[in-house]
Amino acid sequence: MLRRTFALFAAASTLALSAAAYEDPVGDEIQRRMMEEQQRQINDMVGAQEAWGDDEDYGYDEPPSYSEEEWRDWAAEGDRASAERRANDPQYQAFLNGEWLHTPPEKAMKEGCSVMFLRGGVGTLVLATGGLKDPAVFAFFSMDVPQPPALVETRATLTQTDASPATVRVFNATLPWMSDFGIVFFAVPSAEAALGGMIETQRFSVAMEGRDVAAIEWNGGIAARDNLKACIAARR
């Protein structure tokens, strides 16, 4: 059976760094400026994908069933939630079971195109940087992902359904709209490849520096894929 997984590569064009190792002051300054530019691009890209919002610039169809404060508190709480809340609180059940957010086609030109899945204090984001042939970004965020003061280039291992673990170059930053969460970015060669890797139920785990930092399983991946594809088509 053909394995349908996210094909990762080291760096998308919008997130590209030189692989050269600079050892002189001029080179160090060039590298610093390059990293600052990457930080700006990431802040612009990911900042526009904020999960919560209520103004005309909000990028998704509608926000999650719970507030940003509840998301942060429940993520920090972990498994300590009471049985009563687990059984009787519909917002908390949505937090545990997971929810998709997607960019509707009518917002495609202004807000870009992405789908986001939130579950149990972990989020994953598939972001198209342009059309179907343009690079895409696959990101994970959680309280356990490192939260560096500035963008860093590092390595991470992604394990996903029906695929062997892949260790690749990634970018790591603090989530622009929630400073106690870190985010790690994997580059995908194209939005077309990203769409081709989305299946109905899919589990992912990310390890950095020898420890697990994010694990999430989504369901409803086919509908999310179709929503993302419709948004990208609306950008033509």
Percent residues over pLDDT 70 in the chain: 76
Q: What is the pLDDT of residue 33?
A: 62
Query: pLDDT tens-digit profile of 61-112?
Result: 888 999 999 999 999 988 787 777 777 889 989 999 999 999 888 887 765 7
| More reliable by pLDDT, 10 or 95 | 95
DSSP string, 88-145: H-HHHHHHHH-EEEE--GGGHHHH-EEEEEEETTEEEEEEESSSTTS-EEEEEEESSS
Question: How much is the pTM?
Answer: 0.82
**Distance, CA of 112 to CA of 148 (rounded, Å):** 26
Please state the domain extents for the chain.
Answer: 13-234
Q: Are strands 122-128 and 202-208 parallel, antiparallel or unpaired?
A: unpaired
**Distance, CA of 195 to CA of 84 (rounded, Å):** 39
CB 192 within 8 A of CB 132: yes
Q: What is the pLDDT of residue 111?
A: 59
Strand locations in the chain (E)? 99-102, 113-119, 122-128, 136-142, 152-160, 166-174, 182-188, 202-208, 211-218
Residue 4 has pLDDT above 90, yes or no: no
Q: Determine the length of the chain.
A: 236
| Radius of gyration of the CA atoms of the chain, in A | 18
Identify the weakest region by mean pLDDT among 33-37, 123-127, 171-175.
33-37
Residue 126 has pLDDT above 60, yes or no: yes
Amino acid (one-letter) located at 204:
F
Mean per-residue pLDDT over the chain, rounded:
81
Q: What is the pLDDT of residue 3?
A: 37
Specify whether the backbone of 118 is left (phi greater than 0), alpha (psi in -120 to 50) or beta.
beta
**Distance, CA of 99 to CA of 118 (rounded, Å):** 5
Query: pLDDT tens-digit profile of 147-191?
Result: 998 888 899 999 998 888 999 989 898 988 888 999 999 988 899
